[in-house]
Amino acid sequence: MRQKLGQHFLKDKNAIGKIVEALELKDLDTVIEVGAGHGELTEKLKIKNQRLKIVAIEKDLELGDRLKVLGFSEEGGDLKIVIGDVLKVLEPITYNLKPKTWKLVGNIPYYITGYLLRIISELENKPELTVLTIQKEVAERMVARPPRMNRLAASVQFWAEPEIVARVPKTSFAPAPEVESAVIKLKNKNEKIKIKDEDYYKTVKVLFQQPRKTILNNLVADLHADPTRGFTSKEEIGEKLKSISVDPNSRPQDLRVEDIIKLAEIR
């Protein structure tokens, strides 16, 4: 293993099978695989549905060459191998794909999880489904609901419905990671929201900057930091919160995504 890339190769055939099932594959789907590695998942995808279009992204040049040796040719056909960093190549690869026809899958290095999720959230053409093997604790944070909402959950649930589809023990990998893992499925909401994405994420940042403070106090602190906000006083903020049925004295972890959207609209 190339430890510098943080790779832990998933060998468990049962776990790989669950990942493939979670993708809900259909004929002519395009599947982009992140970190193809030794090709275990890639091969399973080909066997599962011969009419898939697969783009396998692998950052490690040696592993990319090994995929070719194993018979995964990058020339034509239904499989293309891309040697590159997914954080840099995902957007251009997906730009010309038809909306709602492509899916993203991968056993990713855990240190890129946050970066990759942010890139997906910013894609104009988002995947219909995303299925990733990530650190279990991160997956559990992602699916949290009130009263355990957190910044990651609020950010992801703005554009996707997250679901943990499997827990994956350390022994399923070679070499074994230091943490437990989980397979998370993210279904794109495809909803048209009036507010701009950047306004929503800025509101999330303000609310969860000090998650133990009340919603009112977090918004007041933001007002003091930036007086150009739409509010003029603590009293006005309190009244605005009540007008959208949000208790000023509740905490950010009590909020639903719908509540945060309303907050973003009045800020």
What's the CATH number where 215 sits?
1.10.8.100
Is pLDDT at 244 greater than 70 in this prediction?
yes
185 vs 163: CA distance, rounded Å: 5
Peptide bond into 211 cis (omega under 30): no
> Please, what is the average pLDDT of the chain?
89
Same domain? 172 vs 206: no
Q: Which helix (H) or strand (E) covers residue 204, if one does?
A: helix 197-208
Domain span including residue 7: 3-188
pLDDT in the model for residue 5: 52
Q: Tell me, yes or no, whether 52 and 145 share the same domain.
A: yes
Confidence band, pLDDT 50/70/90 cuts, at residue 116: very high
> What predicted TM-score, i.e. pTM, was given to this entire model?
0.90
Share of the chain above pLDDT 90, in %: 67
pLDDT value of position 77: 55
CATH code for position 102? 3.40.50.150
Same domain, 142 and 240: no
Helix (H) or strand (E) holding 114: helix 113-122
How many domains in the chain? Answer: 2
Q: Which two tokens stand for residue 48?
A: 């599962």
Q: Which of 15-24, 96-105, 178-187 has the lowest mean pLDDT?
A: 96-105
Confidence band of 76 (pLDDT split at 50, 70, 90): very low
Share of residues in the chain with pLDDT > 70 (%): 91
Judge if 19 and 111 occupy the same domain.
yes
Among 169, 188, 207, the domain boundary falls at 188
Pair (173, 201) in one structural domain: no
Per-residue pLDDT tens for 181-200? 999 999 999 888 888 999 99
pLDDT in tens, 17-57: 999 999 999 888 999 999 988 889 998 887 766 688 999 99
Nearest to 136 by CA among 105, 161, 113: 113
Residues 202 and 139 in one domain: no
Co-location of 70 and 138 in the same domain: yes
pLDDT at 3 over 60: no
CA atoms in the 13 A half-sphere facing the CB of 39: 18
